[in-house]
Amino acid sequence: MTALRIVLVGYGPVGARFVDELLPAVRAGVVELTVVAGEDVEAYNRVLVAEYAVGNTELDSMIVGDRVVAEEAGARVLLGVAATSIDRAARLVRLGTGEELGYDRLVLATGSRANVPTLDGVERHRRDLASLEKYARHLVAHDDELPEGITALRDLADADRVLAAVRERRRIIVLGAGVLGLELALAAAHAGAQVCVVHHGPHPMPRNLDRGGGQVLRAALRRTGITVIAHSRAEAVAFRTGTDGRRRFDMLVTADGKQLRGDLLVLSCGVSPRNELATLAGLRTAVGIVVHPDLRSWSDPDVYAIGDCAQVVERTEELAGQRTLPGAPSGLIGPGWRQAAWLAAAFSAEAEGTATDAAAPEERDPIVMLKAEHIDVVAVGEIAADPWDDDALHPRRRVSQWADPEHLRYVKMVTEDGALTGFVSVGMPRTAAELTLLFERRGELPADRSLLLRFDGPDYDPSADADAFAPATTVCWCNGVTVGRIEESAACGNTTVECVGRDTRAGTGCGGCKGRIADVLARAAEADGTPSLTP
């Protein structure tokens, strides 16, 4: 039987998971796998780049791929090699080295790039079809070049620039108040840098938080020592020429006339999927590469997309004729990993000539977490509803809200027929963990919502809450790891969060569950430190 030839373009965390899941079929000789990795380093977890940028973690702890193991299994991994074009008719991928790779199935895991906002003084390039056809050599597999003193935060090179500024206690301006920008701002401030966050919204994380949660978060940022400037749209950058004759960033100018001096400007204005290869190849793209729920391209049954570049849309005759399509890539690592695992299983079954009944992963609203020292923010679902909304318009909806701004605490819960459909939690980590469980299970909230506040109360004992430590309770949402699985790992000698991560992958995604993993390990340990399974 001829092996199924699979070419994977992209070797980030999602691509690495796809490789890992496909290796048994590669070892069996039923799959021939070639990986085209644009960067010249092993696959690493980009979610942790902000931590790396302030010296809080090492590259070794970020690595999620294992090229040596993949190559020993029979895969071919091309580090530092870029794919430049796709010939769908011939089923070939052309590389920057001049080599051509034939495929039976092509998987695009090209991820996303940082958005460069419109600023006088910063050049940005269009990546529509006309621009790509004219300047493909400069735009495909290349990011926009930024002036010295201006950086995004998507890869290790970006992180190294931030790390140098942090170590020298320089003034850092973060443009944008999304999750990644705020995590960087908080980590840099704790490391001793002077940090200013500039954004044009009414409060931080405006896409994820309501006004109450945003205001409490802003107060928490300011207490940390971060300057927060809201309602300011960046308009231009100014430069200075140093004694060495080099031109560097000097000032951010906003539309309302503010002139903010700094040593490093970090652009944190969202991301856009890397669609260039797909666009040039004539594949349907919208925000991302448009794929069916089984991750197969609308335009070509032999091409698939996973992770940040994949926009999953069920194709209908009505949608097929529309220029704008609903949805967008999730941008989170958990959904990308689930897509990678499912697609690898589907390809393995195809190569082995067996059937698979597993349905493609169906994602609910993504859970957004801000992870920082002393600040916990979790939000999910539709949270725009207000407690004072007209009940006649939404007769089954209820909104509960609790705020303690002085102590930087806030919770809002939105329910429909008693079931949780969305929530915001700031400064209430244990309450957020309980609400996350209820949201994932589509569980009903207690009639007295205030009972949920006890989880962060001074007298709450987590060990007395059986449900929080029930074997089936999920701890790591990125990888679907339960309390029971962590306890099993602990019983096998993995008694630290890092060891459990290596064994189960728990905590290796967004990292927001590491505290919960530590709680499970602590409870699973006997007085003498020997781990034991929960009965």
49 and 74 belong to one structural domain: yes
Question: In terms of residue numbers, what domain contains 463?
Answer: 368-524
Q: Do 160 and 202 fall into the same domain?
A: yes
Residue 529 lies inside a defined structural domain of this protein: no
Helix (H) or strand (E) run with residue 276 in it? helix 276-280
Q: Yes or no: say if 283 and 303 are a contact pair by the CB < 8 Å rule.
A: yes
* pTM for the predicted model, two decimal places: 0.87
Residues 330 and 413 in one domain: no
Question: What's the number of domains the chain is made of?
Answer: 3
At 360-381, the pLDDT tens digits run: 777 777 888 987 877 899 999 9
Q: Write down which residue in 224, 247, 269 finishes a domain.
A: 269
- Asked if 64 and 207 sit in the same domain, the reply is no
For position 508, which CATH number holds?
3.30.390.30
**Confidence band, pLDDT 50/70/90 cuts, at residue 493:** confident
| 506 and 382 part of one domain | yes
CB 293 within 8 A of CB 312: yes
Compute the mean pLDDT over every residue in the chain, rounded to the nearest whole number. 89
Based on the fold, state whether residues 346 and 448 are members of the same structural domain. no
Q: Does 116 reside within a domain?
A: no
Q: Map residue 284 onto helix, strand or coil.
A: coil
Provide long-range contacts, Cβ within 8 A and 24+ apart, for 432-439: 432/376, 432/378, 433/468, 433/516, 434/468, 435/378, 435/411, 436/367, 436/378, 436/380, 436/477, 437/467, 437/473, 437/474, 439/367, 439/380, 439/381
Looking at the domain assignment, is residue 130 inside a domain?
no
Domain CATH for 155: 3.50.50.60
Task: Answer whether residue 516 shows pLDDT above 90.
Answer: no
Reported as a single tens digit per residue, the pLDDT across 167-191 is: 999 999 999 999 999 999 999 999 9
Question: Does residue 259 lie within any of the structural domains?
Answer: yes
Last residue of a domain, one of 247, 269, 291: 269
Q: Would you say residue 326 lies in a domain?
A: yes
pLDDT digits (tens, 9 = 90+) for 56-92: 888 888 899 999 999 999 999 999 999 999 999 999 9
Q: Same domain, yes or no, for 227 and 170?
A: yes
Point out the domain boundary residue: 269, 293, 324.
269
Asked if residue 102 and residue 9 are part of one domain, the reply reads yes
